[in-house]
Amino acid sequence: MLGLGNSITRGIALQDTFSIANVEGIQTWLKFNTGQSDDGDRIIWADSSGQGNPIDDASAGTNDKVEFTSGALHLKQSAADGTPPEVNFTTEIDLTGAFTIFMVLDVPDDLNTETILQGTGTNFFRMAHGNTDAKFRFKFGGVSDSIPVASTAPSTSKALFRIERDGSNNVDFFEDDTSLGGGFPVSGASGTFSIIRLGATQATAIGAKFHEVVIFNELVSDANIALIEADIKTRNSL
């Protein structure tokens, strides 16, 4: 009986152990300080979700403007030759409906616009940090729109951000679970959001540090959001 009880106890413990990788709809998980390598010619950031969508860019390391720093991916200022600070996923991640994206970012405040996520064609998500131009701009399915920040501009130090699009094409942007803007239907928000890289395709300075990125192709439940964000914050000392 004692042995049976121990087995049941262990079984419950295993079932109750939370892992981001087990949350339904996960597409990629670039985990802080995990599965990272840079041999000077190739940047790799393994996908901890098990879905097979890592960063693996054979050209990124050669421009000396992309590197791992203390467990984070640092997209430094663009090279003098115009090489953009960017790294590519091995395959494009297509978000056709609702989605949720978690990112721990450290974005400087010396530029008006930072391109954070870029897709093939013209899909993108940008954060604007200018004091009079605090907004989020995106382009899904070839149509762009902007969401003005309500009252507080996004942090210029390391913070946890979340982007959501629900089934009614409401787009919202959160910092530390507080909405910074959105929450209403946005023109053009119904198109596919295709993501192929972190950073920008144009040769503009960015300087952002990506500490962690998790992408889901559905609207994550409130209960799982709480678990995911608690896990991410603990790992990233937030």
CA distances from 6 to 14, 17, 18, 100 (A): 12, 17, 20, 38
Query: What is the end-to-end Cα distance of the chain in Å, rounded?
Result: 44
Task: Match domain 25-235 to its CATH number in 2.60.40.10, 2.60.40.1170, 2.60.60.20, 2.60.120.200.
Answer: 2.60.120.200
Distance CA 64, CA 188 (A): 36
Reply yes or no on whether the pLDDT at 15 is more than 50: no
Reply yes or no on whether the pLDDT at 181 is more than 80: no
**Pair 74, 66: CB distance under 8 Å:** yes
Q: What is the mean pLDDT of residues 99-112?
A: 80
The pLDDT confidence band at residue 129, using thresholds 50, 70 and 90, is low
Q: What is the pLDDT of residue 29?
A: 98
Enumerate the domain spans of the chain. Answer: 25-235
Mean pLDDT of the chain: 79
